Amino acid sequence: MNIPDMYSYLVRARRELWGALEAVPDEVLARPLLGGERFHCIKDLLFHITVVEDSWLHEDIEQNEPVLMRMPALKDTTGGPEYAGFPLSTLLDYWRTVEQSTLGYLDTLTDGELERAVRLHDAPEQCYTVRGLLWHVMLHEVRHTAQIAVLLRTQGIKPPALDLLWFLPNC
């Protein structure tokens, strides 16, 4: 599977996840279910998934301003456990905007771009290929959406089927 195909799967799986989350009571999405410094609730994880894609793509790969800076409701947040009070629609609007930007970028991918070395904006001593960073971002999302599915189950809510198998063409 190549990067555009994997991202296409994520886009389709997101639609299932977003639709399911829109049917979940806000009190469940905002409920503190996790300990730790940064993620306490499902909404915290939603923001985290999105901001990771946004920052890796824009700040590191493209060396541009992240989409977050164009989102007035979110641009001054810290990334910590502060998203429980945000409407789900605000978080999903941010994710949709990042997704559109990523899709535009993926349309321009070449083999040379995939092999280009990228020094991290906040750790210039670290260097990765665009290919490696894009795979990191996509697998990061898979792991955290699985975490969200488990959290939904702990609240008695059946999560959507997000496994790749459900999105593969049938032969």
Q: What is the pLDDT of residues 97-154, one digit of tens each?
A: 999 999 999 999 999 999 999 999 889 999 999 999 999 999 999 999 999 999 999 9
Tell me the DSSP string of 54-65: HIIIIIIIS-S-
Q: What is the pTM of this model?
A: 0.96
- E strands, 89-164, are 117-120, 123-129
* Residue 93, Cβ density class (10 Å: 0-12 exposed, 13-18 middle, ≥19 buried): middle
Q: What is the mean pLDDT of the chain?
A: 96
